[in-house]
Amino acid sequence: MMHKISAIHKISAAVSVAMLVAGFWSGGEGSVGHAAAPSQPALASAAQEQGGPVERGNIVGWGGGNAVLYPTVGFFGNPRIFAVGSVQPDGSFSVWFPAVLSVDLLEKSTAQCSTLHSSDPAALSNFTGDYLISQHGKQIGATHSGSSRAFASFTGFANEDTRTGFLYVDRANTLSGFCERKISFGGSSVDFLQKFDLHVHKGWNEVVADLSIPQAGHVVADLKVGSNRAGEQWFFFHPPTQP
């Protein structure tokens, strides 16, 4: 059974980061405003030279036309753009990650969640969030991979759902512990518990969240190093409607 949720922290984060789209580039070396943005081939070439991962996919539910893709980091806080990619009229996309993520985009584990612990307390890290999509100078939505549209957009969940993303760390360490919160939906709320067992190397690490629902009103996401891309799709979803 699908349980719909409204993730308040995700909604506010999406609104905050939408305002950054026109004026932020991860290296702090210029604007990605549409009038001043570097060309996509130039961005891709620079990122390729840095040797970061390359994300490619095809967005389910894409409405057509070219667009600009802005991956973000900051799952537990205010998301910030760290790269720029492109979406083709058929919904296919590609984006090159920088090999090194700027230190001003990273935080200690306990700054992200007080009960998330690192084997090296000085280690800095950050998790990727949604990939924002802009068309004709306006944010039109976002995309993320998931085994269901609901979990990809963080608006619902089902037992055995998965959601794959990336974690960047500035040094090898182990992230363990948990992060627990209440998530409100439809006048009710559920306990949402994330458990961490991440033995990670310096740089980008692919991580997957596996969902389980041990009992009504309780959702558990186990985060481990790995991926379920084969069982997931990239879904398009619109930004939340503001009152």
What tens digit of pLDDT does each residue of 160-208 get? 999 999 999 999 999 999 999 887 655 667 899 999 999 999 999 999 9
The residue ranking higher by pLDDT, 216 or 23, is 216
Mean pLDDT of 71-89: 94
Q: And the tokens for 130?
A: 């949604």
Give 103's DSSP letter.
G
The residue ranking higher by pLDDT, 30 or 137, is 137
Maximum Cα interatomic distance, the chain, rounded to a whole number of Å: 51
Neighbours of 7 (CB within 10 A): 20
Domain boundaries, the chain: 3-237
Contact 149, 237 (CB under 8 A): yes
Give residue 94's pLDDT band: very low, low, confident or very high (50, 70, 90). Answer: very high
Q: And the tokens for 1?
A: 């059974």
% residues pLDDT > 70 (the chain): 75
User: pTM above 0.75?
Assistant: yes
Q: And the tokens for 49?
A: 């030279």
Query: Distance between CA 240 and CA 156 in Å, rounded?
Result: 14
Phi, psi (5° rounding) for residue 77? -145, -140
Buried b (16+ CB within 10 A) or exposed e, 100-122: bbeeebbbebeebbeebbbeeee
Most confident of 17-26, 29-38, 224-233: 224-233
Give residue 222's pLDDT band: very low, low, confident or very high (50, 70, 90). Answer: very high
Phi, psi (5° rounding) for residue 106? -115, 155
